[in-house]
C-alpha cells in the first residue's frame, strides 16, 4: 500500500447505526486530518492530530468521534448521524502540523450516505 | 468575507489554450498556498505549492503569488481535456490559526 488509504470507500447507514471510518498513511507523516466535503461547499476541516495528539476540533458535533492510536492510523467513529451528514469524508496527512509545505496528501475518501 | 475565495466557474477553455485561475485571500499575514486538482468523484490531488512572491513553474503549471495584493493564481499552459477538473486553492491563513483553508474551487472545462 502506498500513500493514504481509506476504508470503506462507500458506506450507507441508518440514523441509529454505529460505524467507523478508517484511514492509514504510509508516508511517514506525523499529522493526520479529517475533512468533510459536501456538495457545493468548500472542504471543511473537522479534526487535526499532530503526533497522535488532537490539536484541532473544528466545532464538530459529538456524533463524530475521532481516534488516533498512532501517527499512521486515524479513525472516525460515527453514531446517530443525521441525513445532512451525508458527504465525502476525506483523510489527509502531512509532514509537520497544519499547513506547512509541501502540503497535505489526501486519501480516496469514504462516500457516506445516511438514510 | 471568506478567508479564501475563488470564482466557481465553469471556466471554459479551448484545447491548447492557457487556463488562468485566480484565488484571493483575506489575511495579509498568510504564508503558504497550495493548488489542488479534484476530478469528479475523486479526492484532491496536490499539484503546486508556493510561499514566495513571484512565479513558480512545474511543467505546464505556473503558480503566481502576490502577497501585496493578496492573490494567488494558477496558469495551465497547453490545456488538455484531461485537465478538466475542479481546482482548489488553499492557504495557510494566519487568522485561522494557520489551518489549511480551502476555497470553493473553480471548475475548468477544456473543450477539444
Contact criterion met (CB < 8 Å) for A90 and B43: yes
**Residue A96 or residue B9, greater confidence:** B9
> How many residues in total does chain B contain?
112
The mean-pLDDT minimum among A48-57, A106-115, B38-47, B58-67 falls in A48-57
Residue B90 exposure: Cα atoms within 13 Å on the Cβ side? 31
Nearest to A75 by CA among A61, A88, A84, A64: A64
A105 closest CB neighbour out of B31, B46, B90: B46
Decide if pLDDT at A89 tops 90. yes
Q: Answer whether A100 sits within 8 Å of B46, measured CB to CB.
A: no
E strands, B26-84, where?
A: 33-38, 45-50, 54-58, 61-66, 71-76
Over residues B70-84, the mean pLDDT reads: 97
Rounded to whole angstroms, what are the CA distances from B100 to A25, A93, B47? 19, 12, 15
Chain B partners of A107 at a C-beta cutoff of 8 Å?
43
Mean pLDDT of A20-36: 94
With an 8 Å Cβ cutoff, are A103 and B43 in contact? no
Nearest Cα to A33, choosing from A19, A22, A21, A47? A47
What confidence score (pLDDT) does residue B97 get? 65
Does residue B4 contact residue B63 with C-beta atoms inside 8 Å?
A: no
Identify the contact set of chain A against chain B, taking CB-CB distances under 8 A: 41-43, 45, 48, 56, 88, 90, 98-109
Q: Which pLDDT does position B44 carry in this prediction?
A: 95
> What rounded mean pLDDT belongs to chain A?
90
pLDDT computed for residue B92 by the predictor? 83
pLDDT band at B96 (very low <50, low <70, confident <90, very high): low
Mean pLDDT of A26-42: 90
With bands split at pLDDT 50, 70 and 90, how would you rate the model's confidence at B104? Answer: very high
Residue B3 pLDDT more than 80? yes
Facing residues of A50 across strands? A31, A53
Confidence (pLDDT) at B101:
87
- Distance from C-alpha of B56 to C-alpha of B35, rounded to nearest angstrom: 12
Amino acid at each position: 500500500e502506498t500513500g493514504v488509504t481509506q476504508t470503506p470507500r462507500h458506506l450507507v447507514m441508518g440514523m441509529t447505526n454505529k460505524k467507523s471510518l478508517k484511514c492509514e498513511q504510509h508516508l511517514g507523516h506525523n499529522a493526520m486530518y479529517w475533512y468533510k466535503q459536501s456538495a457545493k461547499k468548500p472542504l471543511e476541516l473537522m479534526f487535526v492530530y499532530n503526533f497522535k495528539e488532537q490539536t484541532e476540533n473544528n466545532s464538530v458535533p459529538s456524533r463524530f468521534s475521532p481516534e488516533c492510536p498512532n501517527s499512521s492510523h486515524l479513525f472516525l467513529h460515527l453514531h446517530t448521524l443525521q441525513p445532512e451528514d451525508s458527504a465525502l469524508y476525506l483523510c489527509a496527512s502531512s509532514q509537520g502540523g497544519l499547513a506547512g509545505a509541501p502540503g497535505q496528501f489526501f486519501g480516496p475518501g469514504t462516500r457516506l450516505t445516511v438514510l | 468575507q471568506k478567508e479564501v475565495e475563488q470564482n466557481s466557474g465553469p471556466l471554459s477553455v479551448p484545447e491548447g489554450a492557457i487556463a488562468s485561475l485566480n484565488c484571493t485571500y483575506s489575511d495579509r499575514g498568510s504564508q503558504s498556498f497550495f493548488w489542488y486538482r479534484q476530478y469528479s468523484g475523486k479526492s484532491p490531488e496536490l499539484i503546486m505549492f508556493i510561499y514566495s512572491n513571484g512565479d513558480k513553474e512545474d511543467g505546464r503549471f505556473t503558480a503566481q503569488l502576490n502577497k501585496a495584493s493578496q492573490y494567488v493564481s494558477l496558469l495551465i499552459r497547453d490545456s488538455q481535456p484531461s485537465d478538466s477538473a475542479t481546482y482548489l486553492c488553499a492557504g495557510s491563513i494566519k487568522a485561522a490559526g494557520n489551518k489549511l483553508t480551502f476555497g470553493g474551487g473553480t471548475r475548468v472545462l477544456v473543450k477539444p
